[in-house]
Structure formats: C-alpha cells, structure tokens
C-alpha cells in the first residue's frame, strides 16, 4: 500500500484533451441488460436527453445483448484488460476506460427523475468535479455500516485520521449514481481502482467495492460534493398488498437533492427533492405510493432494517411519511411517469426479443432472468419461456383464436387478490391492479399436447406476471372465465373472472 501511494503521487496523468465530452456509463452482464434498457428509455423519452451512453462488460455479452442495448441508445463496449472482474468490480475500470471526460456513472437499476444534464450543470459539480450520495448506513448502525466505524483497520492502513463529524468518515457511500470529472480526479480513480481490486480490502474492510471512492477521496483530500441528505425509501405498505404488517415497505431507495438548490424544493416545508430511485430490478407497477425519510443525521442509523426483500421501518417519531397523492401530486406524477416509461422500455424490448428468430432460448432466459419469480425454478422458467416462444412464433395468437375473450374481466383469485383483465380483440391483455410483472401480456390458443392441463382448458396467458408464471384459461359460460395460475410446473392458485363489459 505504501509503495503504491508513493508511486501514485508522482505518476503521470492523462494530458488535457485525452478524454472529451460527457456521457452515461453503465456496466454489467446479461442479467443487467434489460434494466439498462428500461432506465435508458426513461432518460431518452421522459427527460429528452441525448447524452451518449456506453455499456461495458467483461466479454459476457453476445451480439444479441449488444443489439438490444444499441436499440436503447447505448454503445456496447468490452473491457480489454487482463483480469477477472467479480462482485461489481467492473465499475471503476469502465469509468477510467470510457471515452468521456465528464462521466455520469449510472447503475443499471437506477431510475433518474430529472434530466442527467442538470447534474453536470450544477454548481456543486462545477465547484468540485465529483458528486456522490450517501447510503442508508452510518457508524451508529449495529448490523451494517462496518466501513464507517472508527475501529475499522482501513483507516490505519491508509493513514487517515478518522473524524466522526465528517460524513465521509462516519457514513457509507452509495454508488448507484456518481458524477465525476476524470481529468480532475484521475489519481483518485487510480486509488479507487487499486482498492476495489484487492480481495482483502473489498471482502474484509470495505465490505464491497462501493466504498473505494470514499476512501480514495478522503486519502487524497480530493474535492467532492456529498449530498447532506440521507436517502429515503419509496414504496407502499405491505398491508396494502394483503399482509398484516403496516410498517414494512417495498425496497426501493430514493436519493435526494437538498431543498432550495438547482432542483428547487418539494413544497410543504421546502423539503428535499427526490432525484432518483434505486433498486427497481424487474417489472411491476404500483409500488410508489409513499416516501419515508429519516431525520437522523448522517453518521447515525435510521430506524430501519432489511427483512428479506423488504424494509422494516421504525415508529412515527423517527421518520417523516410523505403522502404523495395528497401532499405531493407533482412528485407522484413524476414517479408515475418514470415508472411508465421504464415499464414500456422493458416491455417493448421483451416483445422484440420474443419476435426475433435469431434470439436463442438461452439468450432470452439470460436477458429475462430478473423477471423470474422467486418460486419458479430455473428449469421451470426456461420451460415456460420455451412454450411462450413456441406459441408466439407459430401464430397461435390470431384474432380468430382468441377473440372470444374480448372485454373487461373482473378476476378474483382463490387467495384473495382482485384485478381486472382488459382483453382486446387480438388477445392482448392489460392488467388493472397489482402485478409482479409488466402487467401486459397475450393470450394464445394451444393444443393440449403442448401445455397439458385440465379438461377444457384451451388457452394460455403469458407475460402479465413475472417470468415463469403463466395461466391456463377457459370460458365456462358466456360471461364466466376460469383460470389456473402456474409458477413454472406448479399450480399456485385458481381464479374466476366475470365479464364486466364486452
């Protein structure tokens, strides 16, 4: 470490003009491609951004993956450096290898709520050349926040004086979004790359790679801006999804810009402005009804813990609940618009893949793997995809085959979930109500030899739920629909539907 730091102090840096322009940089493997496509659709369609984008990979992507990215406006680029990149270690070298001088690093599951150009034009970026945001966890947390604690040996190894009043010491970083001027911060990038590629550092001390920039900035005293506002969570209480717990939220992080800055204020006491949402990894609507923020200062621990895939939050006095529909209709509308473009981007890319005869089942399964339901096995997932592909590519969704289902159906499942299926004359289905998938699918007629099943089931519905889930359908009367809901090869639920209107 000492030898590296000594060499870094006098190492040559890229000359002015070596990097040019500004752009968005992402990285990942096949399972991250569809997330990137969906979030780039938000950037292009909602925000009207024409910033160039690069998606970097360590030779994991095939031409199919790169075609999908190119259609979304991202150039596919390979990391042509020796090494094995594991545990998110690609993000530092991709920033360094990118052709851009001004880089907006965007995680594939980060959804911007404002145009990215505004970050580059902010006073904070002009002053420092580097923008960062905090994670949930500080030194005061019991289970998390290990790299923010004063007893972590990394402070000694890097010879950094720990200052409990400095959030760069006492609070962990979150790197789903960062903005950096490479020409201005090249040496900090070099140190971050060194730290993030040493297993002892990432596994034992930093507990991941996301803290590498925080320690590099602190060690080199590099100028940077860290948002003084801790992140909140955006979602819906699980009681609204049929559970008994009122204090659990779906796990989407929302990062903020301080009130009164370039992004204005959120009203109602000049609150901070939601800037982007992190952790939306697969389709699903209706999960942004409320925001919860926490007044605890950075360095302390917010009253929140992760329980499997959910956030359990504390008592009312420890948090501020934003009722979006009632008090913040503008924010609610912005979240809904971003979510709509995200869903459309994913759905359109999915449809193109299903219709592209060049796409193999293996490539399709890799791309759509984030959709897979937790109760669906990998084998069951691929089996259901194969059936959908077969039906779609052999023309079993013709109007003549599915027109008898046209209308609005009120569907009630045996387990209590109620939704509406809006079916058009071609068999296209749009779900009104909660779904864990894109909420848009298609009905196909099938032979029993293809899908098997109970007596009288003549049609199958794919696409509305997470991948690997599908439904068998049959008309039990002029206005009565019977359904079987399957998760892979397992019958998970049954339902009936009544025709509301033709």
Question: Residue 105 has what pLDDT?
Answer: 97
Q: What's the pLDDT score for residue 240?
A: 41
Among the listed residues 297, 305, 299, 293, the one whose alpha carbon sits nearest the alpha carbon of residue 171: 299
| Rounded CA separation 471/403 (Å) | 17
- Asked whether residue 218 falls in the same domain as residue 316, the answer is no
Same domain, 174 and 305: no
Position 59 in a domain: yes
Instruction: Say what the pLDDT of residue 265 is.
Output: 85
**409: domain range?**
372-501
- Whole-angstrom Cα distance, residue 283 to residue 38? 9
Residues 189 and 301 in one domain: no
Are 368 and 34 contacting, i.e. CB atoms less than 8 angstroms apart?
yes
Please tell me the number of Cα atoms within 13 Å of 261 on its side-chain side.
20
Left (φ > 0), alpha (ψ -120 to 50) or beta: where does 260 sit?
A: left
pTM metric for this prediction: 0.89
d(CA 135, CA 176): 10
Question: Does residue 396 sit within a domain?
Answer: yes
Looking at the predicted structure, is the pLDDT value of residue 207 above 90?
Answer: no
Q: How confident is the model at residue 107 (pLDDT cuts 50, 70, 90)?
A: very high
Please state the rounded mean pLDDT for residues 176-186.
97
Please enumerate in sequence order all residues whose Cβ is within 8 A of that of 428, keeping only pairs 6 or more positions apart, or say none. Answer: 440, 441, 442, 443
Give the pLDDT of residue 392: 84
Q: What is the DSSP string of 74-110?
A: -EEEE--SSS---TTTTHHHHHHHSS-SEEEEE-TTE
Indicate if the pLDDT at residue 306 is higher than 70. Answer: no
Last residue in a domain, options 327, 359, 391: 327
The predicted-structure confidence for 229-281, as pLDDT tens digits, reads as follows: 999 988 765 544 444 444 445 568 999 999 988 888 887 667 899 999 998 98
Backbone phi, then psi, for 223, in 5-degree steps?
Answer: -70, 140
254 and 163 belong to one structural domain: no
Looking at the fold, whether 132 and 36 belong to one and the same domain comes out as yes
Does residue 289 surpass a pLDDT of 80? no
> Domain check: are 50 and 68 in the same one?
yes
pLDDT digits (tens, 9 = 90+) for 437-468: 778 889 998 865 445 555 678 899 998 888 88
195 and 83 part of one domain: yes
Structure tokens, 268: 């109602």
Given a contact cutoff of 8 angstroms between Cβ atoms, the answer to whether 497 and 421 are in contact is: yes
Would residue 346 count as lying in a domain? no
**Residue 345 forms part of a structural domain:** no
Tokens standing for residue 10:
């006098």
178 in any annotated domain: yes
pLDDT in tens, 315-342: 656 888 888 888 899 999 999 999 999 9
Which tens digit of pLDDT belongs to each residue from 401-424?
Answer: 788 899 999 999 998 889 999 999
Distances (CA, A) of 497 to 413, 419, 458: 9, 9, 16
More confident call, 204 vs 185: 185
Q: At a CB cut-off of 8 Å and minimum separation 6, what does 343 contact?
A: 38, 283, 285, 438, 439, 440
Q: In this structure, what CATH number is given to the domain that contains residue 142?
A: 3.90.550.10
CATH code for position 496? 2.40.128
> What pLDDT sits at residue 243?
42
pLDDT tens profile 22-37: 999 999 999 999 999 9
Same domain, yes or no, for 194 and 274? no
Q: Rounded to the nearest 5°, which phi and psi values hold at 149?
A: -85, 145
Residue 335 belongs to a domain:
no
Q: Residue 195 has what DSSP assignment?
A: H
Same domain for 189 and 214?
A: yes
What's the domain count of the chain? 3
Cβ pair 439, 428 in contact under 8 A: no
Question: CA angle at residue 347 from 342 to 350, to 5 degrees?
Answer: 130
Query: Domain check: are 217 and 239 in the same one?
Result: no
Instruction: Answer yes or no: is 402 within a domain.
Output: yes
Looking at residue 284, its pLDDT comes to 77
Helix/strand/coil for 307: strand
Q: Is the pLDDT of residue 293 over 50?
A: yes
* 238 and 210 assigned to the same domain: no
Do 152 and 13 fall within a single domain?
A: yes
Cα four-point dihedral sign 313, 314, 319, 324? positive
42 assigned to some structural domain: yes
């Amino acid at each position: 470490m000492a030898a590296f730091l000594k060499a870094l102090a006098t190492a040559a840096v890229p000359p002015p003009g070596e990097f040019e322009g500004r752009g968005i940089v992402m990285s990942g493997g096949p399972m991250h491609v569809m997330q990137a496509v969906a979030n780039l659709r938000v950037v292009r369609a909602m925000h009207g951004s024409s910033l160039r984008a690069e998606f970097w990979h360590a030779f994991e992507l095939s031409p199919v993956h790169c075609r999908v990215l190119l259609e979304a406006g991202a150039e596919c680029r390979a990391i042509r450096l020796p090494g094995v990149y594991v545990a998110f270690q690609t993000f530092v070298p991709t920033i360094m290898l990118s052709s851009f001088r001004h880089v907006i690093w965007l995680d594939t599951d980060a959804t911007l709520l404002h145009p990215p150009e505004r970050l580059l034009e902010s006073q904070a970026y002009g002053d420092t050349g580097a923008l960062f945001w905090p994670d949930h966890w500080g030194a005061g947390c019991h289970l998390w926040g290990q790299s923010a604690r004063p007893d972590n040996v990394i402070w000694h190894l890097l010879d950094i004086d720990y200052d409990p009043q400095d959030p760069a010491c006492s609070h962990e970083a979150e790197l789903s979004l960062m903005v950096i001027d490479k020409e201005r911060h090249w040496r900090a990038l070099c140190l971050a790359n060194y730290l993030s590629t040493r297993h002892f550092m990432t596994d034992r001390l930093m507990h991941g790679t996301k803290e590498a920039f925080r320690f590099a900035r602190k060690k080199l005293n590099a100028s940077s801006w860290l948002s003084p506002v801790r992140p909140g969570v955006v979602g819906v209480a699980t009681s609204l999804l049929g559970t008994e717990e009122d204090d659990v939220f779906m796990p989407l992080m929302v990062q903020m810009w301080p009130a009164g800055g370039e992004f204005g204020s959120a009203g109602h006491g000049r609150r901070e402005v939601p800037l982007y949402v992190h952790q939306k990894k697969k389709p699903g609507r209706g999960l942004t009804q409320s925001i919860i923020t926490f007044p605890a200062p950075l360095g302390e621990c917010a009253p929140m813990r992760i329980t499997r895939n959910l956030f359990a939050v504390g008592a009312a006095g420890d948090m501020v609940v934003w009722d979006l529909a009632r008090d913040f209709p503008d924010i609610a509308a912005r979240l809904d618009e971003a979510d709509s473009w995200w869903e459309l981007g994913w759905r359109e890319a999915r449809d193109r893949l299903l219709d592209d005869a060049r796409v193999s089942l293996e490539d399709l399964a890799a791309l759509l793997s984030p959709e897979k339901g937790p109760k669906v096995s990998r084998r069951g997932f691929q089996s259901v995809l194969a059936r959908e592909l077969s039906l779609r590519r052999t023309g079993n969704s013709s109007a003549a085959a599915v027109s008898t289902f046209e209308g609005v159906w009120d569907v009630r499942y045996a387990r209590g979930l109620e939704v509406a299926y809006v079916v058009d004359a071609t068999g296209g289905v749009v779900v009104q109500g909660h779904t864990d998938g894109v909420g848009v699918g298609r009905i196909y007629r099938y032979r029993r030899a293809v899908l098997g099943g109970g007596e009288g089931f003549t049609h199958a519905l794919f696409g509305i739920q997470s991948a690997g889930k599908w439904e068998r359908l049959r008309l039990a009367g002029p206005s009565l629909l019977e359904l079987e809901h399957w998760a892979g090869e397992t019958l998970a639920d049954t339902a009936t539907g009544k025709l509301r209107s033709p």
